[in-house]
Amino acid sequence: MARPGWRGVMKEQVNPGGDDPSLIGEVARGSRDAFVRLYQRYAGRLLGYALKVTRDQSLAEDVVQEVFTTVWLKASSYRPEQGAPAAWIYRIAHNKLVDHWRRRLRVDEAAQQVPEQGPQPPSELALDLEHSMAGLSPDQQRAVELTCLRGYSHEEAAAMLDVPLGTLKSRIRQALGRMRLLLTREET
């Protein structure tokens, strides 16, 4: 019997791993149907796990999204002889949570080192950066924002934007070249 799961997706009854290795194999070959089945099987439990660890609904949902992005991109790296599919998926979740905590610690440490001086006007560099970003195409802006400003890997950003990895890298290269040109023009 099916019941409503996370975000209205129908969740299958939990199968303790029976055909999960074959599902991951199908995902590795690009099967969206297999990916949906794997998502339906694990998303709710992963959300519960991430929510228990983070106590932050938004962060927990972000972690689940990142986990399934990684599953989609790295399904071919799964090796059944190294453990059950659930263990592999939960290891990815654990790693994503650790990554989030490390980023948060770096931000907290940086904030402690900056003396509090109240609101400051935007720096000249920030204004130059904003102006050079405005000179990019919307696709280039999104690529630079995700990889350079938000810290996503190229693979994660390509998956989020639903473009091939090479296309994303080309957009970033072209965008950074364009920004360099705009910034050096403004200096002279």
Query: Is residue 118, in this structure, part of any structural domain at all?
Result: no
**Does residue 179 have a pLDDT over 70?**
yes
Q: What is the pTM of this model?
A: 0.49
Query: Is residue 30, in this structure, part of any structural domain at all?
Result: yes
Residues 7/100/144/71 CA torsion (nearest 10 deg): -50
Indicate if 37 and 95 belong to the same structural domain.
yes
Compute CA 51 distance to the chain's CA centroid, rounded to the nearest angstrom.
17
Indicate if 40 and 103 belong to the same structural domain.
yes
Query: Is residue 119, in this structure, part of any structural domain at all?
Result: no
Indicate if 133 and 104 belong to the same structural domain.
no
Indicate if 38 and 128 belong to the same structural domain.
no
Indicate if 33 and 105 belong to the same structural domain.
yes
Query: Is residue 91, in this structure, part of any structural domain at all?
Result: yes
Q: Decide if 71 contacts 38 (C-beta within 8 A).
A: yes
Helical segments of 75-164, H only: 85-113, 124-134, 138-144, 154-161
Tens-place pLDDT, residues 76-106: 999 988 889 999 999 999 989 888 888 777 6
Tens-place pLDDT, residues 109-119: 555 555 555 55
Q: Tell me, what's the pLDDT at 64? A: 94
Amino acid at 179: M
Neighbouring CB atoms inside 10 A of 108's CB total 10
| Residue where a domain terminates, one of 56, 79, 113 | 113
Query: Is residue 169, in this structure, part of any structural domain at all?
Result: yes
Q: Which element (helix H / strand E) includes 3?
A: strand 3-4
* Mean pLDDT of all residues in 32-56: 92
Indicate if 129 and 97 belong to the same structural domain.
no
| Residue where a domain terminates, one of 113, 142, 177 | 113
Q: Which element (helix H / strand E) includes 135?
A: none
Structure confidence at residue 144 as a pLDDT band (50, 70, 90): confident
Indicate if 45 and 129 belong to the same structural domain.
no
Q: Which CATH number do you get for residue 156?
A: 1.10.10.10
| Residue where a domain terminates, one of 90, 113, 136 | 113
> Could you give the 3-state DSSP secondary structure of residue 4?
strand
Query: Is residue 49, in this structure, part of any structural domain at all?
Result: yes
Q: Decide if 45 contacts 86 (C-beta within 8 A).
A: no
> Could you give the 3-state DSSP secondary structure of residue 10?
strand
Contacts 24+ apart (CB under 8 A), 51-57: 53/97, 54/97, 54/100
**Which tokens hold the place of 163?**
């473009």
Indicate if 90 and 176 belong to the same structural domain.
no
Indicate if 109 and 130 belong to the same structural domain.
no
Q: Decide if 41 contacts 27 (C-beta within 8 A).
A: no
Amino acid at 35: F
Q: Which domain holds residue 72?
A: 3-113
Indicate if 94 and 8 belong to the same structural domain.
yes
Provide the number of structural domains found in the chain: 2
Distance CA 181, CA 98 (A): 38
